[in-house]
Structure 1
């Protein structure tokens, strides 16, 4: 009975826990990924734009799409072995610090947390100002920890006034290792990207990512949407189904092993009972009991054991689901079809497990049994 209880309880608990966990995936599915769309430049449209397919007003075009919060271009500035240094004399090569060109809305889309200062805006972009935003790692490497003296960084000797330092951000960890300058300033000084193509980062409202992703290529270049590769996060429902299926396969396999162990336990216990009660069987046979009566007796006993194990296991499984959900702060989910058949499953296991011992008991002859 204990073995059946563990097996049935495992089934009920597994089904309940996977359903409850699956219900949390929509909540656990990170909002950052669910509201992020990326666009990669994968083609050219002519000699004038051979280095970058994004139009100059790409941010405005995409931000006009319903559901878009922020959208902006970015790329790595095409410099070979640049030297980045500060007024303190500290410098670093391009292997340590990346030089990134970004639109102001790109920085907003990363959800930056500023340790000091501010980001550049449309005013700096419109005037093609030589200003920069530092990531916290790059600032530390350059020895810049304060902004009250209007510190500057020098890129191949060209000074850029540091406006702010980013401590962290939600979407682009590489920003923390870089020096970020306005995209228009980068185009003036260093030209468009060459080997590493430009990209676009888009932040959307929750639930709008897939719709926005379908509209972005046409919004950027209605005449050549194939120049862009758009990537949006997968739908949470699809992810929930996949994760739930993986959990079901894994844990149901473990529960099946528990049920098999329980069945073997019932069969073993019933067989031992047959051996220990040989005299009882012989006495019943001598008083007129038929082999089928003996078989029914032991099958009934094993079935009742399985039924009780199934009932107790179902109750234990429900308690486990509720306790686990409370501890995790989840909403417990348990389908009726996962609990209602549990006692019947236990009874069936008991019936099957008791079949061989019952058959063996039915074959015992009364004379042979009474001689033992």
Structure 2
């Protein structure tokens, strides 16, 4: 026997390495697959969850698109108005107190001969005594009278204002030349006086002077105060009230071709009074850019707030539905945790689900919002304006909204203890 042979169990023991537990892994591909499975398992609930984002993002895109489209229309209207209108003031009294009226008798014809002028006319507000109210009848229910402005205007003023008639017609050069006692009313003034139709040939009484109403104006593109006034021929007003042709406070309204306003403003005083052009002051409209910028900025801010509110509503819907999903899947979460899933894995899964629903809702909402802008623009005969940045950012906004909405539910899911979850 070999003395060195060791008895069984008495030899040196082998050192065994401790076994290491392989850490659980949750690759992004796995998170995407799990989130997709979670979404498809409950399609009805997922659709309702995404609906909040669809509405939020769709409203976001539609509001911003309609704001840009409306701003574009405002810009165009400001530009057209600013480039096609001139006002000329009578400042003869400021230059020479004995100068008399600055506008000549044929002021309208002189200015209309200038290149680029469409219509021109002199007007002034008739200064009436307090007792000379405007009445619809000399006696009876319509005899109380209304405090209404009376404007004496050449026919060119009405044409330059580009009115929209609801009834009747405008007076013309014949009425002005023969000093006819006719009147045109704004729709608001006609309603105040109780005049609803011209079939009965109604008349208005300015003081004790009757004027036959021949037209009612519903809207104008320029000089909106005409809608609140009684408009009579200037020559008739000169004869009835002042007896002096041309009032020192008279003004002229000139409508020009697009882009001709500045040139007409330079030439009109000389064309009207070549002997004393300083008696007349032509005023082209101020640059509307500052006012236009303020209007569009206010619209942008208002509609952006509304879009933000819609997004918050969509986020609340996603958060509520995701939280309900966490409570319903408590057993599933506990089983995953018992099999080795960590809290961050559960968090990633639920964030991926809410983010996927948000992104899907963002894509659908972007399409619906863009379609809404185009439809409204076509109905209104506008040019649709949708910024590419809005279309590109909207799905990202939906994704971010979904992820933010899922933060709290995902945090709640990660804090579920496996033992507690399995006992439920």
TM-score by length of 1: 0.69
Total equivalences in the alignment: 337
| Structure-2 residue corresponding to 1:150 | none
Give me the whole-angstrom Cα distance separating, in 1, the residues matched to 2:77 and 2:183: 28
Shift of 1:9: 0.6
Shift of 1:347: 0.8
Deviates more, 1:344-353 or 1:250-259: 250-259
Shift of 1:257: 0.9
Correspondent of 1:190 among 236, 244, 251: 244
1:153-212 alpha-carbon deviations (Å, 9 max, x no partner) = xxx99xxxx9x9853676656885535427998999536536xx1221212123433553
| Structure-2 residue corresponding to 1:291 | 343
Correspondent of 1:228 among 269, 275, 281: 281
Indicate how the Cα distance of structure 1 residues 209 and 99 shifts in structure 2: closer, same or farther if over 3 A, else same: closer
Deviates more, 1:242-251 or 1:200-209: 242-251
1:112-146 alpha-carbon deviations (Å, 9 max, x no partner) = 99859962499x6xxxxx74463257xxx9xxx99
Give me the whole-angstrom Cα distance separating, in 2, the residues matched to 1:324 and 1:77: 44
Structure 1 residue ranges without an equivalent (≥5): 84-89, 125-129, 147-155
Give me the whole-angstrom Cα distance separating, in 1, the residues matched to 2:55 and 2:278: 58
Shift of 1:16: 2.2
1:334 aligns with 2:386: yes
Query: 5 Å matches for 1:164-175?
Result: 167=215
Indicate how the Cα distance of structure 1 residues 283 and 218 shifts in structure 2: closer, same or farther if over 3 A, else same: farther
1:55-95 alpha-carbon deviations (Å, 9 max, x no partner) = 56755664454322333434467898999xxxxxx9x99x9
| Structure-2 residue corresponding to 1:52 | 101
Query: 5 Å matches for 1:207-356?
Result: 207-213=259-265, 216=268, 225=278, 228=281, 230=283, 232=285, 235=288, 242-356=294-408
Q: What is the alpha-carbon root mean square deviation over aligned residues?
A: 4.8
Q: Tell me if the contact between 2:90 and 2:279 (Cα under 8 Å) persists in the aligned partners.
A: no
Correspondent of 1:4 among 19, 37, 53: 53
Indicate how the Cα distance of structure 1 residues 176 and 30 shifts in structure 2: closer, same or farther if over 3 A, else same: farther
Q: Tell me if the contact between 2:120 and 2:157 (Cα under 8 Å) persists in the aligned partners.
A: yes
TM-score by length of 2: 0.61
Give me the whole-angstrom Cα distance separating, in 2, the residues matched to 1:252 and 1:116: 44
Structure 2 residue ranges without an equivalent (≥5): 1-49, 133-138, 186-194, 202-207
Q: Tell me if the contact between 2:359 and 2:396 (Cα under 8 Å) persists in the aligned partners.
A: yes
Q: Tell me if the contact between 1:39 and 1:230 (Cα under 8 Å) persists in the aligned partners.
A: yes
SS in 1 for 2:215: strand
Q: Tell me if the contact between 2:148 and 2:229 (Cα under 8 Å) persists in the aligned partners.
A: no
Indicate how the Cα distance of structure 1 residues 46 and 10 shifts in structure 2: closer, same or farther if over 3 A, else same: same
Deviates more, 1:257-266 or 1:204-213: 204-213
Indicate how the Cα distance of structure 1 residues 106 and 363 shifts in structure 2: closer, same or farther if over 3 A, else same: closer
Indicate how the Cα distance of structure 1 residues 7 and 189 shifts in structure 2: closer, same or farther if over 3 A, else same: closer
Give me the whole-angstrom Cα distance separating, in 2, the residues matched to 1:116 and 1:346: 56
Larger Rg: 2
SS in 1 for 2:382: coil
Give me the whole-angstrom Cα distance separating, in 2, the residues matched to 1:311 and 1:116: 54
Shift of 1:275: 2.1
